[in-house]
Structure 1
Amino acid sequence: MLSLFFSFSSHSATPEQITYIQTIAEQYIIENIEQPAGGTLEAKAANIDSRIFASDCPTELIASSRSTNANASNITVLVECPEDNWKTYVSVRLIRTGPQATLTTSLNKGEIISAHDVTINMVDLQRLRRQGFSTINAVIGAKVKKNLRSGEIIEQNDICVVCRNDIVTIKAVKSGMTITTKGVALSDGSHGEQIRVKNSKSNRIIDARVSDISEVTVIF
């Protein structure tokens, strides 16, 4: 925790006090909000009205917030000095960057994504409209569901590893044993997503998770 003494002002906060309050708020965010996997988190405190009262707090300032939502664009942090009975609220903007699978070539609807079609870029996660993919392996072999341009971030709704009406291999795993059969996907799905599949032999409809290209797995 930073340690700094303010010069006393009985009327309004000094520029040094304002800066310190902002620093405390930003530090609180960095220490309490989870960073994106493989990415970075920055915190930028908004301007504070210099007319607020702040004293030379005899102890460290206390910061707190009702929100720890890592996906929020802004979080309000309460900074206070209980000993001198003052507090102020600081709006802090979160800047989250993370790895996202991005196309290096344009693809048409129905084409399969290969390794040379995609790369990983660090992007501002707040600008993502929908969930993307943080690894290349998550999208290689997937079929694109619409025309996509080079430079676009691949979102989950853009692709399917298993697509509706695809013939798939159903892997049934129980007590270390695996049995396979064929089926038909009744909906689109990406890696790890649960979809409905119709067993071609029994005509039974089951829930299974997408485990690979044209493959789903059921664990009993």
Structure 2
Amino acid sequence: MRHTKHFLFFSLLLLIKQPIVAATELDSAFIERFAKTYLAKYFPSSDDEKVRISIARLDPRIIIKPCKIPLTANIPEKSGARNVNIKISCDESIPWKIYLSAKVEITKAVLIAKNTISQGDKLDESNIELAYIAINKIRGEKLTDKAIVFGAKAKRRIGKGKTISKKSICLICKGDVVTIIASSNTFTIKTQGVALSSGNINEQIKVKNTRSNKVITPRIKAINQVIIHL
């Protein structure tokens, strides 16, 4: 009777372990999902950037062995490129590994021209919008905040679909009449001036005070407004 109980006990243990062994059986679909999940964490999306991941299908002739421990993944060569290789490994006593290739497309939200903007045109909802552009096609610093550029003028012609940069616009342009705000801890004085150079928010430009004819270098505060701290 005692031996019978031991036999039943060990038989029960074997039955309990069977599903765990079966759960470690792997196929190409599982490996591909595992690789995509890893890449999604390696290249996370955000409000400013979107990531699209495409995993190449495994060669159906590859035999995938079971693995009784969690799989690991890594990119052997660190890369921000569009094409990457992922290594999937099983680090058991008899280890194995599989390599998969994937395409990673990262796009960034930047301001572009809805239609052709002529030199001198003001930027607003009618002619600019946010669009996601592949980062490998973006050159230099591009603007992403509509609030910063609304009311600014195009310094040169901007073609339809082209990105908006600081070099292509000016919040205050040379020749504009501006309000000069001279500010201290105790008082604020306002007067008029003429911009002698062009610039954008928080940039310093040359301005001629129309009352004193003195040239000063205040910072741009807003459209047609500059400020100098006394």
CA deviation after TM superposition for structure 1 residue 113, in Å: 1.5
Distance in 2 (CA, whole Å) between partners of 1:155 and 1:80 is 45
Structure 1 gap segments, 5+ residues each:
8-15
Tell me which amino acid in the other structure corresponds to 1:82: D
User: Kindly tell me: are residues 111 and 95 of structure 1, through their superposed partners in 2, closer, same or farther at Cα, counting changes over 3 Å?
Assistant: same
User: Kindly tell me: are residues 88 and 64 of structure 1, through their superposed partners in 2, closer, same or farther at Cα, counting changes over 3 Å?
Assistant: same
CA deviation after TM superposition for structure 1 residue 28, in Å: 1.4
CA deviation after TM superposition for structure 1 residue 60, in Å: 2.0
Q: Deviation digits for residues 23-80 of structure 1, max 9, x if unmatched?
A: 22221121232324255322123455667775312122112346485xx434443322
Aligned to 1:5: 24
Distance in 2 (CA, whole Å) between partners of 1:63 and 1:173 is 59
Structure 1 residue 134 and structure 2 residue 144: aligned? yes
Aligned to 1:197: 205
Aligned to 1:93: 103
Secondary structure of the 2:88 match is: strand
CA RMSD of aligned residues (A): 4.2
Return the match for 1:82 from 84, 91, 104.
91
Aligned to 1:11: none
Distance in 1 (CA, whole Å) between partners of 2:217 and 2:102 is 49
User: Kindly tell me: are residues 112 and 32 of structure 1, through their superposed partners in 2, closer, same or farther at Cα, counting changes over 3 Å?
Assistant: same
| Structure in which a larger fraction of residues adopt strand | 1
Q: TM-score, normalised by structure 2?
A: 0.61
Distance in 2 (CA, whole Å) between partners of 1:219 and 1:87 is 65
Aligned to 1:73: 82
Secondary structure of the 1:42 match is: strand
CA deviation after TM superposition for structure 1 residue 117, in Å: 1.9
Q: Deviation digits for residues 134-160 of structure 1, max 9, x if unmatched?
A: 343232212212212334343443323
Distance in 1 (CA, whole Å) between partners of 2:95 and 2:43 is 27
Tell me which amino acid in the other structure corresponds to 2:203: I
Secondary structure of the 1:137 match is: helix
Aligned to 1:28: 38
User: Kindly tell me: are residues 177 and 149 of structure 1, through their superposed partners in 2, closer, same or farther at Cα, counting changes over 3 Å?
Assistant: same
User: Kindly tell me: are residues 205 and 41 of structure 1, through their superposed partners in 2, closer, same or farther at Cα, counting changes over 3 Å?
Assistant: same
8 Å Cα contact 2:197/2:207 also seen in 1: no
Tell me which amino acid in the other structure corresponds to 2:130: I
Overall identity of the aligned pairs, in %? 21
Distance in 1 (CA, whole Å) between partners of 2:36 and 2:187 is 52
Structure 2 gap segments, 5+ residues each:
1-21
Q: Deviation digits for residues 162-204 of structure 1, max 9, x if unmatched?
A: 4467666666888798777768575643x4xx63434757756
Distance in 2 (CA, whole Å) between partners of 1:35 and 1:119 is 21
User: Aligned pairs, how many?
Assistant: 202
Secondary structure of the 1:77 match is: strand
Return the match for 2:71 from 58, 61, 72.
61
8 Å Cα contact 1:108/1:146 also seen in 2: yes
Return the match for 1:44 from 51, 54, 73.
54
CA deviation after TM superposition for structure 1 residue 21, in Å: 3.1
| Structure in which a larger fraction of residues adopt helix | 2
CA deviation after TM superposition for structure 1 residue 93, in Å: 2.3
Aligned to 1:213: 223
Tell me which amino acid in the other structure corresponds to 1:57: C
Aligned to 2:13: none
